[in-house]
A = this chain, B = another copy of it.
Amino acid sequence: MVKRTRFDGESCPVARSVDVVGDWWSLLIVRDAFDGSRRFGDFQRSLGVAKNILSARLRSLVDNGILETVPAGARHEYVLTAKGEALFPVIVALRQWGEAFAFEAGEPHSQLLDRRDQQPLRPLEVHAADGRLVTAADTEVRKDR
């Protein structure tokens, strides 16, 4: 019994999320799904991942209700469910963090643009219930309840 530690019994929502999408490929598959990939081959070409790994990850994402398979002609396609669509802020947060800290100045990178005006999105902000902008130091975690 030396398998990977699971977090699905944890009471912390972060741990549960990480349990589902916390591996290297799953979030990139979801990113590609947002970007229009629907078929096995789309993901495979875009990611360059081995087919058995992709197969296992897609199955896991379907099992977890993030993707669903829909018939498309003779084959089927993988599309995001509402649960999967709800990961959009996670992807945006990772993207903005990467843009800010994982590139050299002037190094080119892909950009997520608003379709309407072709401008980058506004940086994510964390707000309190009353609308105040908060930082990590303004918050605290209360266990369980």
Using a CB–CB cutoff of 8 Å, the interface residues on chain A facing chain B are: 4-5, 7, 11-20, 22-24, 27-28, 31, 34-35, 48-49, 65, 83, 85-103, 108-117, 119-122, 124-132, 134-136, 138-145
Contacts and interface: CB of A to CB of B under 8 A. Distances in A.
Given A24-B18, A122-B129, A90 B97 contact: yes
A128 B139 contact: no
B88 A101 contact: no
B129 A121 contact: yes
A4 B16 CA distance: 24
B142 A14 contact: no
Contact of A126 (B121, B142, B143): B121
